[in-house]
């Protein structure tokens, strides 16, 4: 899942980017408020982690503009400002959740997964299709009772398709969802990931729609 991170503290930002990427997220990190504000219009994000005290433009102003422009991406405010008035201001400006510093990386992961699940209308934490199950929190993939080992990008692609069952995802959309701007993307990368998922999870797990894209389609 591709996440937009706007945080000007280099220690916190680097820790979040490194930690969340190890947990299977794709992270685009910005330290300037204006740059981060514009980034939301340039790529598809499942959620945003937004600091309030930013250079260029503060987080509350950014959030208000996004909501005024009908951007509905879920936003987790992450800030040292822990008083009640600031929490209320953030939520009233359109934030979906609020987490004060210091924080636990696993709590950030759990809150992001909850926001993404809520946004997609998913009621249960685990995702499943046919005999394949996936836990977004642990990134554990099982086929029947057998645990299957996937690469980080294979896991990201599986999660993306599971969140969008019965919806065709084009190659371009998939690339934009599972790769950040820092990644080098080979021209056949998506095809390779699809091939590997079919090999590990079953040849019928993903259906190719000729010249359009890929889908996990219920019978």
> For residue 173, what pLDDT is reported?
95
- CATH class (in words) of the domain with range 127-215: mainly alpha
Who has greater pLDDT, 17 or 184?
17
Whole-model pTM: value is: 0.84
Mean pLDDT of 193-201: 97
Contacts of 122 (CB under 8 A, 6+ apart): 163
Residue 120 has pLDDT above 80, yes or no: no
pLDDT bin (cut points 50, 70, 90) of residue 165 is very high
Mean pLDDT of 141-156: 95
Give 2-120's CATH code, choosing from 3.30.200.20, 3.90.1150.10, 3.40.50.2300, 3.90.226.10: 3.40.50.2300
Map out the domains of the chain as residue ranges. 2-120, 127-215
C-alpha–C-alpha distance, residues 38 and 56, integer Å: 12
From residue 131, how far is each of 21, 136, 141, 214, 218 by CA, in Å?
27, 16, 11, 19, 12
CA neighbor of 28 nearest in space, from 86, 73, 61, 64? 73
Who has greater pLDDT, 115 or 211?
115
C-alpha–C-alpha distance, residues 88 and 178, integer Å: 33
């Amino acid at each position: 899942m591709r996440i937009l991170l706007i945080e000007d503290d280099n220690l916190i930002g680097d820790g979040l980017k490194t930690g969340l990427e190890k947990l299977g997220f794709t992270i685009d990190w910005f330290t300037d408020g204006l740059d981060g504000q514009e980034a939301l219009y340039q790529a598809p994000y499942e959620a945003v982690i937004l600091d309030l005290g930013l250079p260029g433009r503060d987080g509350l102003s950014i959030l208000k503009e996004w909501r005024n422009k009908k951007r509905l991406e879920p936003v987790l405010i992450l800030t040292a400002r822990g008083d009640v008035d600031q929490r209320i201001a953030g939520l009233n400006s359109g934030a979906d959740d609020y987490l004060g510093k210091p924080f636990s990386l696993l709590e950030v992961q759990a809150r992001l997964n909850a926001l993404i699940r809520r946004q997609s209308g998913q009621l249960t934490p685990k995702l499943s299709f046919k005999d394949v199950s996936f836990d977004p929190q642990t990134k554990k993939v099982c086929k029947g009772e057998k645990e299957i080992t996937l690469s980080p990008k294979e896991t990201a692609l599986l999660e993306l398709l599971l969140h969008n069952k019965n919806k065709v995802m084009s190659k371009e959309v998939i690339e934009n969802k599972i790769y950040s701007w820092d990644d080098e993307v080979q021209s056949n990368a998506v095809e390779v990931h699809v091939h590997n998922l079919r090999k590990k999870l079953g040849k019928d797990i993903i259906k190719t729609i000729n010249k359009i894209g890929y889908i996990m389609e219920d019978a």
